[in-house]
Amino acid sequence: MSKIISGKEVSAQVREQVRKECEELKAKGVDPGLAVIIVGDDPASRVYVNNKKKACADVGFVSEEYALPAETTQEELLALIDTLNSKPSVNGILCQLPLPEHLDEKAVINAISPLKDVDAFHPSNVGRIMIGDYHFLPCTPAGVMELIHSAGIEVSGKSCVVIGRSNIVGKPMAMLLLHENGTVTICHSRTKNLTEICREADILVAAVGRPKFVTGDMVKEGAAVLDVGINRDENGKLCGDVDFESVEPKAGFITPVPGGVGPMTIAMLMKNTLKAAKLQNGMD
């Protein structure tokens, strides 16, 4: 029987800390602000943006939304980012991905000032994460680390397996585990003997984007299993990359979906925005 790590509880604690520090900043005349850009009307993106606005209101940040039509040009989007880069009241800039196909995602990410890049996607922030000298961490991997710490799980010396090699989750996740002296293996679609590799993991992070991909026979007895996936199963029900029913009896720790890593992502975005406000005002 495993211990369930509740992202709802841990994210509430993170938000409470951010709320407290936000009040302290306001008392010093700094009002942290996050600008969110959404292009087009993708329904999932709209849900994410609304959740981010709610989180800003919850912790006391100023929230600015820039909802642009789907036919917005590259030039128009880059001009908006340029304006926000030089706007003192905006501490963090977030452009909701994915963008419509005619827009260059890479150019958009590169246009955001590294000091306002609260998603930590800019190449200079990615490089800083690599060498361990960073201001911001990508929100989802940072949230996973927060859950690991909250459960009192020791990373140092442990065998850590990350399934997935995306720039947003898999790669930075591996670096964060490595920074805490984990021995890290990254697995992906071309990995041979995936089941055997996963069975060796003391800490297993699933970020593959396939429903119920990790099954009980892939998990070591007593392992910590962290599920980053958000999918729909064959019945349309929300589920993760981990088959909870078969894995939960074997794992020592496990995150549920929903209510696990998901709430942490937005909580860490709030933490990054607070950090950006401090950096830009010489308080960090």
Burial of 133 (0-12, 13-18, 19+ CB in 10 A): exposed
Is 74 annotated in the active site? no
The catalytic position among 17, 20, 26, 52 is 52
The catalytic position among 3, 13, 17, 96 is 96
Q: Residues 243, 218: contact at Cβ < 8 Å?
A: no
Is 52 annotated in the active site? yes
Q: Residues 232, 52: contact at Cβ < 8 Å?
A: no
Q: Which residues, listed in sequence order, are joined to residue 92 by a DSSP beta bridge?
A: 34
Is 96 annotated in the active site? yes
CA dihedral (164, 123, 53, 67) positive or negative: negative
Which residue intervals of the chain are DSSP H helices?
A: 7-27, 43-59, 74-85, 105-111, 123-131, 139-150, 170-179, 194-199, 244-247, 261-280
The catalytic position among 117, 119, 227, 243 is 119
Going by C-alpha positions, the residue among 144, 146, 119 that lies closest to residue 134 is 119
Catalytic residues: 52, 96, 119
